[in-house]
Structure 1
Amino acid sequence: MIEDILEPTLPIVDPHHHLWDFQPVLGMIPETAHAFGAIVKNSPRYLLDELRADTLSGHNIIGTVFVECGAFYRADAPTHLKPIGEVEFVNGIAAQSASGIYGQLRACAGIVGHADLTRGDAAAMVLESEIAAGNGRFRGIRHIGANDPDPLVLGPLAHAPAGLYGDPVFREGFAQLGRLGLSFDAWVLEPQIGEVADLARAFPDTAIVLDHVGTPLGLSSYAGRHAERFDIWRDAIRDLASCPNVMVKLGGLAMPFCAFPGLGPEARPASAVLADLWRPYIETCIEAFGADRAMFESNYPVDKWGVDYAVLWNSFKRLAAGASTGERRDLFAGSAARFYRLDGLAI
């Protein structure tokens, strides 16, 4: 799908993308229609070249934030130290971009890594090592809490135990984030949004962002139930928004987990179609959190499964058409820059 770029000069900070290279292990990924296999086979390699190709597709992307995805871990390190390798790798990509020889984009200006918070207080040593490895770019971690009783919802990505964010030892580890001035990205599924609210209320001084509007589900046992479950999702979002230390990322809706009708690798719908499809979710989040606590995200290359990068940002611009100039500045760049402390970007 090729479209004219809407508002091509509007500054954008993309606060959520990944970098990975699954090509060496493609043969290990089963031929399956499950979401994980579909995502990886659709984009087996996504590094600086691929990121630049997307961010240079017409929109004014001035900076990005990398979010952990389990790639480039240290092969020979003890398990709890392996994630430091991902931060080291991404910091190298950020340094390449910061050299300026690739243009004005500041890729990976902020880095969100991973540390196993179920190690309790001992997680502090890993976090401190990641701060050092990030060379001033490390901003926090994501420890995925996504879980569902239906094993077909997450498939190979079903690593988190039920109720992870309420576990006392996990919370011992979580307490280290506030002590070190770090933020937390929370990825859960729609039925779990309340778990993020409980965590936020227990740690009111720690900055938390909900990824992917809480991931409304549409596959397996949730297939065809978007309308049925919308009010449940909306009530949970409104409750979470009452926590002043929480922000929300507006995106992730082109993932196969959401399974919205008409999306997929072959469909490539227009931005106007996507805006109409996603409007109830995006507008609910903006109304609940306010523009100053909400940020549009690409979630690339995961959302590449359902939409092209340039079309995705066109859809977001359509969705924000009624916002004021200040609100649009927040939604597309300001909120992300504040949350991730990207002070060096000219917004």
Structure 2
Amino acid sequence: MAATAIGIIKDEAGCAVDWIFIMTAMGGIHIPRYPIIRHEWLSLLTEEPIEPDLPIIDPHHHLWDHTGARYMFDDLMADLNTGHNILATVYAQAYAMYRSDGPEALRPIGEIEFANGAGAMSASGIYGPARACAGIIGFVDLRLGTAVDDALQAAVAAGNGRLKAIRHITAWDRDISIRGTASQAVPNMLADPAFRQGFSQLANHDLTFDAFLYHTQLDELTDLAQSFPDTHIVLDHAGTPLGVGRFMDKRDEVLNDWKRSIDRLATCPNVSVKLGGLAMKNCGFQLDQSPLPPSSEYLAEIWSPFVDHCIGRFGPSRCMFESNFPVDKGFVSYGVLWNAFKRMAKSYDQKEKQRLFSGTANQIYRLGLDACAP
């Protein structure tokens, strides 16, 4: 994926904010937003791991190498080795390492090849016991419709047994300060006939669908899940409840609207949910605006209304905690983040914790780790 422009995103007043954007070309323009990771700031607060022996599968992280935004295998392994018992991870697509040539539909396969290489490095055992990138969530353009089958076959082959899911980001809002100035998503993409034709092919390849969208789009995902009951769907980032733009200072209203949509989505037995990603700028908690990084106690306090409701509706067997690193590393360190999750799960018994921290991810992404079997 070749960068064509690099700069700093500015707010409506023209002031720079701490986000690097990278414009790339691959059948359109994409602007992933990467938070600036302030290592010195993160080091101002450290915590001893809570329940350090509890097995964890981190089902959502990225790797990328861009000017001004780098998070590669060594960076990931350093985070995994901060005191928690991380058994394995699942790589999530991030528009990284696309092929620079060849058919456009197959250029995203480069990212799957890259993640598979990282998985092979980790499987050697040289870098520690954690199996990084044991599963891969890749990308193919589902809007290819019936023609997507060739791309899916290539993606599965590139994953060498590690490709478990496809993520086609559909997060969209009319406010460009929320969605970005050149988002790939369009309104009502989940209902687009071509998208649904492509989506219908996932089950034939034993692939799950990861859904990244905003809380305002949750009902669209419910309709998709009801229309394709044989395809498993994982909702990323608890549905991304928004707290910026027109949703700023409307936390209670957003929470109530989000709850109603989550309740409807939870009635679909083919849907699971990842609990995490709430540190992102779009959620509006402004965790990077304080002199000190947030503590696990504070994170548990502000995120519990969302996490508790998801677990209450979906149950531990359809919920899994996620790091969303390095995106969330702009706001919290890896060790503190997992402490926050453990604080939020303290009222659950050991079997339920096993589901939340490893068992559900192991089952949904078919990782085959005996230590995480229910």
- The answer to whether the superposition gives a TM-score over 0.5 is yes
Aligned AA (1:254): A
Partner of 1:2: 46
CA 109–232 in structure 1, closer or farther in 2 if over 3 Å, else same: same
Distance 1:231 1:62 in 2: 36
Which of residues 79, 91, 96 in structure 2 aligns to 1:71? 96
Which of residues 253, 276, 279 in structure 1 aligns to 2:278? 253
Work out whether residues 362 and 369 of structure 2, in 8 Å CA contact, stay in contact via their aligned partners in 1: no
Aligned AA (1:196): L
Partner of 2:246: 221
Identical amino acids, percent of aligned pairs: 50
Distance 2:188 2:62 in 1: 26
SS across alignment from 2:200: helix
Which of residues 147, 151, 173 in structure 2 aligns to 1:122? 147
SS across alignment from 1:198: helix
The structure with higher relative contact order (CA 8 Å, sep 6+) is 1
Distance 1:236 1:336 in 2: 23
Work out whether residues 163 and 195 of structure 1, in 8 Å CA contact, stay in contact via their aligned partners in 2: yes
Partner of 2:55: 11
Distance 1:166 1:120 in 2: 12
Partner of 1:208: 233
Work out whether residues 256 and 306 of structure 1, in 8 Å CA contact, stay in contact via their aligned partners in 2: no
SS across alignment from 1:131: helix
Higher normalized strand content (fraction of residues): 2
Partner of 2:86: 61
Work out whether residues 279 and 287 of structure 2, in 8 Å CA contact, stay in contact via their aligned partners in 1: no
Work out whether residues 170 and 185 of structure 2, in 8 Å CA contact, stay in contact via their aligned partners in 1: yes
SS across alignment from 1:125: helix
Q: CA deviation at 1:79?
A: 1.6
Which of residues 158, 161, 168 in structure 2 aligns to 1:136? 161
Work out whether residues 264 and 307 of structure 1, in 8 Å CA contact, stay in contact via their aligned partners in 2: no
Aligned AA (2:64): W
CA 225–131 in structure 1, closer or farther in 2 if over 3 Å, else same: same
Work out whether residues 256 and 264 of structure 1, in 8 Å CA contact, stay in contact via their aligned partners in 2: no
* Mean CA deviation greater in 325-334 or 148-157: 148-157
Work out whether residues 142 and 186 of structure 1, in 8 Å CA contact, stay in contact via their aligned partners in 2: yes
TM-score by length of 2: 0.86
Which of residues 78, 92, 95 in structure 1 aligns to 2:120? 95
Q: CA deviation at 1:260?
A: 0.9
Aligned AA (2:131): R
Work out whether residues 61 and 325 of structure 2, in 8 Å CA contact, stay in contact via their aligned partners in 1: yes
Partner of 2:358: 333
Q: CA deviation at 1:19?
A: 0.5
CA displacement 1:1-23 (0-9 Å, x = unmatched)? 10111000100000000000112
Work out whether residues 256 and 305 of structure 1, in 8 Å CA contact, stay in contact via their aligned partners in 2: no
Partner of 1:238: 263
Q: CA deviation at 1:346?
A: 2.4
Distance 2:290 2:188 in 1: 33
Partner of 2:211: 186
CA displacement 1:149-171 (0-9 Å, x = unmatched)? 11110214621000000011100
CA 200–266 in structure 1, closer or farther in 2 if over 3 Å, else same: farther
Work out whether residues 116 and 158 of structure 2, in 8 Å CA contact, stay in contact via their aligned partners in 1: yes
Gaps spanning 5+ residues in structure 2: where?
Answer: 1-44
Gaps spanning 5+ residues in structure 1: where?
Answer: 27-43
Q: CA deviation at 1:305?
A: 1.7
Q: CA deviation at 1:140?
A: 1.5
Which of residues 196, 215, 221 in structure 2 aligns to 1:171? 196
Partner of 1:287: 312
CA 293–130 in structure 1, closer or farther in 2 if over 3 Å, else same: same
1:271 aligns with 2:296: yes
TM-score by length of 1: 0.92
CA 157–63 in structure 1, closer or farther in 2 if over 3 Å, else same: farther
Which of residues 345, 348, 373 in structure 2 aligns to 1:323? 348
Q: CA deviation at 1:263?
A: 4.1
Work out whether residues 254 and 263 of structure 1, in 8 Å CA contact, stay in contact via their aligned partners in 2: no
Distance 1:178 1:315 in 2: 35
Divergent runs of 4+, >6 A: none
SS across alignment from 1:285: helix
Work out whether residues 63 and 345 of structure 1, in 8 Å CA contact, stay in contact via their aligned partners in 2: no
